[in-house]
Amino acid sequence: QPDRRPHTGADPRAVLKEVFGYDAFRGDQDDIVQHVIAGGDAVVLMPTGGGKSITYQVPALVRPGTGLVISPLIALMHDQVDALVANGVRAAYLNSTQSAPERAEIEQAYLAGELDLIYVAPERLSSAATTRLLQQGQLSVIAIDEAHCVSQWGHDFRPDYLALGDLAERFPGVPRMALTATATRETHAELTERLRLPDARHFVASFDRPNIQYRIEPKVDPRRQLVQFVRSAGEGVCGIVYALSRKSVEQTAEYLRTQGIDALPYHAGLDASIRARNQERFLREDGVVMVATIAFGMGIDKPDVRFVAHIDLPKSVEGYYQETGRAGRDGEPAVAWMAYGLGDVVQQRRLIDQSPGDRSYQQRMGQHLDAMLALCETVACRRQNLLGYFGQSSDPCGNCDTCLTPADTWDGLVPAQKLLSTIIRLKRERNQAFGAGHLVDILRGASTERIRQQGHDKLSTYGLGSDLSDQDWRSVIRQLLARGIIVAQGDYGVLAVGDEGAAVLRGESAVPLRRDVLGRGGGAARVRK
């Protein structure tokens, strides 16, 4: 087939300059581009705003053929293609919103070798017709965007991604790239396996966003706290406030307006024209605060968002990281602020319990929530906790609330020892292991069916922890988990002694726990021993 594309074989740096207007590659971009142009597969982990698009767009232009981009969000595809076309790149997308003649025109252009890039939704690729069409032309590279969506245990699983595992067989010899801005160690391994990229080179950028200051506080009077925070961010700055429900979005926006803040609502239930108008104002004007559900922000490249506020607890650390990552993309100081309360936790536990997934799915969702709460409850640096979650170690940052104002703590050594000895006794004496719920029942001296059946009321630690409430114990357990004093194992999350547990048992390690956590007013406030 003829290749009528002007950049084939060109110098990547020249393409970067000519097409995208940038003088130099940033970070790993250069290495990634070289590697893929040479025909190698790549797994790219780079935070939002890191510049992932360039890493597949440049190879797509330079290698002979058309670059195939698999992207899950049709709305995003449209914007990305428009931006490319504005730069003179011949890009197009195929999706279900198009008419048959529109699609036919794009297919013809592809087959004639006239397209630089073609964007396709994952579900399209399951169709044999699309595969056949793409096989009749020439592909230069295959980029799988939002690759974490293939992970069944991640926070954003999409079943259509599972079918992307055989792309190597369908398009032999075409280099493949998997890209994501959110991957824990486990998700990273899982996407490499499921997308069958055993020989790929891995490019893992630092996930740190040093200009973002992290602040998390318990809800006392959430509306007033939010207004106070927004005012403290400064006059005329842009920010995003995330809420979970549409109703809460509308009420919050309205309340902020009564307080003289230029707030606009954004959620999927609003009229498309209102959504477009609000988004337009947010992008173009100063001082607009967008109150939105998490549907807002994906693909919105506004560099000077000065804050992201969460007034409801996100479902996972991945989600929190992604959403807060929309602040400060210009590198200037920005704040990620959140208020969380017991109500959030109760509501989310209920949603998990009522979710249609099987037991192990619910277990994973529970672990996502626990990791999120561990971030809220840490007495250590927030950034250390956050980066640690993504497998990256770091020193205390000096730019988060716990670094700037050390948290008020109480000594959790004794409760930690009670829990550890319960776990150890059950293991040694009866070869048993249990999850948090049952262990708390034992410690609080609950009289449940299971306790009586198992004879756990005969254990020497039975009832030893009745000075703490159920909520307090759960908070203690989350904080111990976050510090590796205990670990959760298997699909059922049974608790075992972690690496840091021995020193605690010997009383050699202090266990400071946050005072201002959710059980506030309950046991934690009383236990001062």
Task: Kindly tell me which of 394 and 509 has the beta carbon lying closer to Zn ion.
Answer: 394
Cβ at position 251, least distance to ligand ADP in Å: 31
Find how far residue 429's CA is from the centre of its chain. Answer: 41
Q: How many residues does the chain have?
A: 529
Instruction: Write out the E strands in 236-332.
Output: 238-242, 263-266, 289-292, 305-310
Decide which of ligand ADP, Zn ion, none touches 445; Cβ closer than 5 to 8 Å per partner kind.
Answer: none
Alpha-carbon distance of 58 to 36, in angstroms, equals 10
- Residue 417 binds ligand ADP (CB under 6 A): no
Query: In angstroms, rounded to a whole number, what is the distance separating the alpha carbons of residues 149 and 145?
Result: 9
Q: How far is C-alpha 223 from the chain's CA centre?
A: 26
Angstrom CA distances, 359 to 342, 366, 441, 476, 520, stand at 24, 10, 21, 24, 31
Nearer to Zn ion, 73 or 403 (CB): 403
Binding ligand ADP by CB under 6 A: which of 7, 48, 187, 523? 48
Q: How far apart are CB 89 and ligand ADP at their closest, in Å?
A: 13
CB of 251 or CB of 394, closer to Zn ion: 394
CA proximity to 120, closest of 156, 68, 162, 165: 68
Q: Which amino acid is at 486?
A: I
Contact flag: residue 140 with ligand ADP (CB under 6 A): no
Q: Does 148 bind ligand ADP (CB under 6 A)?
A: no
Is 49 a residue that touches ligand ADP (CB under 6 A)? Answer: yes
Q: Is 69 in the site for Zn ion (CB under 5 A)?
A: no
CA–CA separation, 288 and 270 (whole Å): 18
Closest CA to 146 of 70, 37, 238: 70
Residue 381 binding: pick among ligand ADP, Zn ion, none (C-beta 5-8 Å cut-off by kind): Zn ion
Binding part of the chain for ligand ADP, among 25-33, 200-208, 236-244, 351-359 by CB under 6 A, reads: 25-33
Report the 3 state secondary structure along 222-236: HHHHHHHHHHHCCCC
Contact of residue 84 among ligand ADP, Zn ion, none (CB under 5-8 Å per partner type): none
Interface map 376-415 toward Zn ion (x if CB under 5 A): -----x-x-------------x--x--x------------
Pairing relationship of beta strands 305-310 and 334-340 according to DSSP bridges: parallel
Bridge partners of 218, per DSSP, are: 340
Q: DSSP E strands: which ranges in 145-211?
A: 176-180, 201-204
Q: Name the token pair of 298.
A: 């994906």
Q: Which of 15, 28, 50, 375 binds ligand ADP (CB under 6 A)?
A: 50
Using rule CB under 5 A, residue 44 touches Zn ion: no
- The Cα 23–Cα 29 span in angstroms is 13
Please tell me whether residue 168 binds ligand ADP under the rule CB under 6 A.
no
Q: Smaller CB distance to ligand ADP: residue 84 or 451?
A: 84
- Considering the complex, state which of residue 26 and residue 132 has its C-beta at the smaller distance from ligand ADP: 26
Query: CA distances (Å), 9 to each of 87, 177, 303, in order?
Result: 19, 20, 33
Q: Is 46 in the site for ligand ADP (CB under 6 A)?
A: yes
Residues in region 92-111 near ligand ADP by CB under 6 A: none
User: Which span sits near ligand ADP by CB under 6 A: 41-49, 236-244, 399-407, 433-441?
Assistant: 41-49
Q: Which residue has the tokens 């409850």?
A: 377
Please check whether residue 291 is in contact with residue 307, taking contact to mean a CB–CB distance below 8 angstroms: no
Question: Does 153 participate in binding ligand ADP (rule CB under 6 A)?
Answer: no
Amino acid, single-letter form, for residue 230: V
Distance CA 297, CA 317 (A): 17
Nearer to ligand ADP, 28 or 472 (CB): 28
Site string for ligand ADP, 175-214 (x = CB under 6 A): ------x---------------------------------
Stretch touching ligand ADP by CB under 6 A, among 22-30, 110-118, 254-262, 508-516:
22-30
* Rounded-to-integer distance, Cα 238 and Cα 334, Å: 10
CB atoms inside a 10 Å sphere around CB 398:
11
| Cβ proximity to Zn ion, 295 vs 403, nearer residue | 403
Minimum CB distance to Zn ion, residue 510 (Å): 19
Q: From the list 301, 332, 408, 499, which residue makes contact with ligand ADP (rule: CB under 6 A)?
A: 301
CB of residue 21 to ligand ADP, shortest distance in Å: 8
Q: Does 52 bind ligand ADP (CB under 6 A)?
A: yes
Alpha helices in 357-465, H assignment, sequence order:
359-377, 382-389, 401-404, 413-430, 436-443, 449-454
383 binding partner (options ligand ADP, Zn ion, none; Cβ < 5 to 8 Å by kind)? Zn ion
- Tokens encoding 270: 């609003």
451 binds Zn ion (CB under 5 A): no
Residue 81-100 contact track with Zn ion, rule CB under 5 A, x = bound: --------------------
Is 335 a binding residue for Zn ion by CB under 5 A? The answer is: no
Q: How far is the CB of 336 from Zn ion (least distance, A)?
A: 12
363 scored as a contact of ligand ADP (CB under 6 A): no
CA distance 444 to 421: 14
Distances (CA, A) of 463 to 182, 411, 417, 468, 528: 42, 20, 14, 10, 19
Does 248 sit near ligand ADP (CB under 6 A)? no
Chain residues in the site for Zn ion (CB under 5 A):
381, 383, 397, 400, 403
Chain residues in the site for ligand ADP (CB under 6 A):
22, 25-26, 29, 46, 48-54, 181, 301
